[in-house]
Each structure stands twice: as C-alpha cells, then as structure tokens.
Structure 1
C-alpha cells in the first residue's frame, strides 16, 4: 500500500499505517508515496521484502452515556472519537472533540430536556471507524429509528484553524454530496451560531473520514464541526480567520507533536513560533477555536434537546439490525 500523495504534507507523503478494516491472510506493507511512484515507474521490477509482522485481534470499547430525562423515542446523539493514532497522543485529534462533548454532557446532566441525550466516545476510529460502525450496525431497527440525529466533533481546536461546518445541504457542491434529510437543518443551527458570533465558516464535506460515516450511511441525519487537518491554509482563509497561509490547519496532524509540547516532540519550531505570535495555543490546541467550538457544541445539543421539529421523519430501515450475542452495544452510564 502506497501513501496517496494528494498533498505535500508529510501525512500524505511519508511512511504510514495503512488501514485494511478487516484481517487478511497475507502480510501487508506500506510504502511512502515517492517510493510507490518509483516502484510503479520501474518496468520489470522485482522486489524482495522480508517482513516481521503481527496479526492479532485487539479489544476496544465505546463509552456511552445517556441522560436520565427526555423522550427515549427521540434520541439526540453526540459523538467524538476517543482514540489517537499510534504516532502521538492526539491532543487535538481528538482530545478537543472528546473534551468538548464531555463538558457539554457534564453541564447538561441536570437538565430536564424534552428529548433524550446520548453521548458517545468512540473506540478505534483511527482504525477505520471501528467503534461507531459496530455500534450502528448492532442497533435493532427500532433503536436505529429512535436516533433522530447525530452530531460529530472531530478536531475542533486545530492550531491554524478554520471554522468548518459539515455541509449538510451540499451548498458547496463539492465532494460527497448532501447528508440525509435533516442534515441541512443541523447545519443551519451551527451557521446561525457562528453568524451571531460574527465568525466566518467554511463548508466541510462529508468525506467519510470520521464517525458520522456509519450514521449517514444508514440514513441518520448528521452534522458537526471540523477545524481542519493536513490541508494547507489559503490566503483567503487568512482573511477570514487569521493564521499562516501555506501551512496546514494542523501542522502536527497524525504526528507525535500533536501534544502539549509540540516543539519538543518534533514540530517545526519556526512555524509554531509564528502561530504563537498570532494565536494563543496550549500545546497543539488553539484556545480560541476550541472555546468557540465548545460553545457551538453546547448550543446545538441544547437546541435539539428541546426541539427536533425541524428534523423530518425518515423512512423505516430496510432491514432489522440485531446485536451479536453476549455483546452489550449500549453500555449506558446514566448521569
């Protein structure tokens, strides 16, 4: 497996941990993009590789909490992935999203909401959305129908941030297209929030790279926030949010320096010196971006906790889902 090379950032050029999704019966090797190009461009090439590989099944967990109050037939679900890549601790990816929804849950614990609130911290997102996919696929048809919408928060404090809002109606007309019916209405809640703060937003495509994927794939409307990863900030972005053009939204994306001490852990010191002149950073987290997005998280959760009338009803699932034997897919920890 060769890296994809779609940008010049190290994450898309260098050696990487490829994701297969399921076990396979042969060794799998990853190579950098330049090495892959060299292999592909050499006629009659024969390569001999010696590997020391391990294939094993590992266990992970989803952490799910549900409110005491609210109509159990109308579930407003909010999620963020709890894991990071093996390369680093993931202070931004996804410590920010996990912390943002945790604080919202803590603040909401005594609210007598009209609708049921459910919060999920997903396991093994970086290994191909394993935790969220298992959860959604394990729902019965009845339980699936009770989830009226899903809010996803993956990286909401990128140091060279953008205020990305998932493009529920595909108004940007790029990428994967709109989300299921109701996704546009979720997007509008976030756009209204940022407009009130006089903050510009960017349309973030449903690329399938985060835990909303299994939800929208089965017809559940979704929305959320994303402050950017390996893509470089443009000059137009700088006019909207400040920062540094030509530098990734998160220069430490999927690296060891996504930490509380990025420079010590390998970040470009010159880049982070510039970022610290323009923004207040705590480690690899932009505090303004995180604080603003945390308020947006709380606003959306509180809005739908009381009123989901804007979300249109959806057709019943085509086939019932059943949980595997001896597995508790919910694991609710009641507040």
Structure 2
C-alpha cells in the first residue's frame, strides 16, 4: 500500500519541527527545515517495478541472480542503463571470487565536494537457490529509485553523492570488501558516511536501525519517529552485510533492515503487527524469495527513509 504524499509530508514536517524546537532556530530562518522538506517521496510503484525486472531476469536465467551467473550481470546491466539515462557517471569494477568473475557497479552524481562523499549501497547478487527479491532486490531497488529521485529533483547537495551495487555479498561481502580494500587511504578518508540497505521489504517485517554511528542512527530514528513507528537496534545482520568493510576501514556507517531468519516476538507484533512465532522472512535464501515475498508498507517506508537520509546527510 502506497503511503500518501500528504501523509508523508506531514511526517517530515513533524521531524523538521522537532529539529527546530530542539535547536532553538526560528522557523522562518532555518535552512535545515528546507533541507528536510526537500527529501522526496519515493514512489513504491517505481521500486516494485525494479523488483519485477529482477524477477524476470532471474526467471530467464536459471531462477537466480547469483555471483558469476548470467542473471547477476543482467541485473547489473539493467541498473546501469537506468543510471546512465539519468545522468550518472557509472563504472563497473571487476573482481574474481570462487573462480567466477564478479562485478560492482558504482554511480557518481556530478557535483558536490569530492572531499566529502556520501555513499549509499546494497548488494545486487542473490543466492543460487532463488531470485533474491527481498534479499536483496529490495535494497537494490530502493537505492536505485533514490538515485533516480536525485536526478529527477536536479538535486545538488554540498557533499558528493555516490551509489553502489555490490557483487558476491552472499559469498562473504566479497565485492564491497574489494572496493574498500582498493581505495587509497586518502580516498577512504573522503567518505563521510556509507548507508547500507539489505532486506528492507521482509513479509513479516520489523523496523531495525543500525547503531554503528550515532549521527546516522539518529537520522533514521528521527525519520521513523516522525511516522510514529517504533524502531529497534539491528543485531541480526551485524558484520554480515556490506557496511562491515566500510566500518572496518573507519568509515561511519548506518542502514536499515526488516529481519531475516530470526523469529518475531509477541512484543514486536504489538509494535509492528504481523505474526508472532514466525520468521521475519520465511523465504530467506530460498526459492520462494520472489515478488510475492515483499511487504509493500515496509518497502515503501524504508525507501522513503533512504531518500530522507541521503538528503539529510548530504547537506
């Protein structure tokens, strides 16, 4: 279910008002309020259209989009074509893992201070046993639609924006680790933050926020506070997704997650709804991780939260 534009605008305005009240700023003279209000509503229909494409690609290529398989490269080519058409400078980084060639896709938005780079990323590969629509078509599609929203808005923030889609995450964060390890120390130091989106549309969702960096964590928590949605600290994916190599290199990281194989408790159902005693994602790493394995509300909220954080943290 798509959240209405007016409903989301009210939520963003609430966060902006809270920020102004705590900072003591005057509403009429607060540039931060303008920055907050500028974050766009991400159309969940657009995000789901990308998921449909990932599903079609998997179906046409042996049922998966795994590292070294044709479905992965077709997924990358799809994302790259969208970004190229939107005015991004894209590059493909090649590596080898388990005897197969892997690829990362990097997309830079022209402009901004290249000594202050805000990155947002997700892994594009699935496991070999399924199409990987929640894991991690959901994060990949949300990051893509956020990048396209930057282009549609003609957004030119103070910081330089870079988006990334990683290969071979399912084999041990191979693609993101390769990227980080091949940055010079000077270029690593230029990355002011990395935002990670992995499994953000689980069918029995929770709303989990990474707690690795206080400023990034607060950005996401403020967004959800504006919606009146409770969050919890993310622990299931600690060290298991593409933020980990960045964190190890000293880059501030954060992100969102809706849960994988852990079981939802009764207390969590009281906060978020859903089914107690059932996994957040019963199709985790399985053939049933298809377009039917997505909660639209969670996907919509987290996609909007991704855009909010990109706008807020790039000013």
**Range into which the TM-score falls when normalised by the shorter chain:** 0.5 to 0.7
Residue 229 (structure 2) pairs with residue 199 (structure 1):
yes
Distance 1:210 1:78 in 2: 13
- Gapped runs of 5+ residues in structure 2? 1-96
Residue 194 (structure 2) pairs with residue 150 (structure 1):
yes
Residue 274 (structure 2) pairs with residue 243 (structure 1):
yes
Q: 1:93 Cα shift?
A: 0.3
Residue 304 (structure 2) pairs with residue 291 (structure 1):
no
Q: 1:56 Cα shift?
A: 5.4
- Following superposition of structure 1 onto structure 2, how do residues 116-131 of structure 1 map, counting pairs within 5 Å? 116-131=160-175
With the length of structure 2 as denominator, give the TM-score of the two structures: 0.67
Q: 1:64 Cα shift?
A: 0.6
Residue 253 (structure 2) pairs with residue 222 (structure 1):
yes
Cα RMSD (Å): 1.1
Q: 2:141 aligns to what?
A: 99
Give per-residue Cα distances to partners, 1:259-298, cap 9 Å, x unaligned.
13xxxxxxxxxxxxxxxxxxxxxx1000000000001000
Rg comparison, structure with higher value: 1
Secondary structure of 1:151 counterpart? strand
Q: 1:116 Cα shift?
A: 0.3
Distance 1:107 1:98 in 2: 14
Equivalent position to 1:85, from 127, 145, 149: 127
- Following superposition of structure 1 onto structure 2, how do residues 1-335 of structure 1 map, counting pairs within 5 Å? 57-109=99-151, 110-168=154-212, 183-205=213-235, 207-260=238-291, 283-306=292-315
Distance 1:104 1:56 in 2: 32
Secondary structure of 1:126 counterpart? helix
Distance 2:98 2:210 in 1: 35
Question: Residues 198 and 72 (structure 1 numbering): CA distance in 2 closer, same or farther, change over 3 Å?
Answer: same
With the length of structure 1 as denominator, give the TM-score of the two structures: 0.63
Q: 1:201 Cα shift?
A: 0.4
When you count helix as a share of all residues, which structure comes out higher? 2
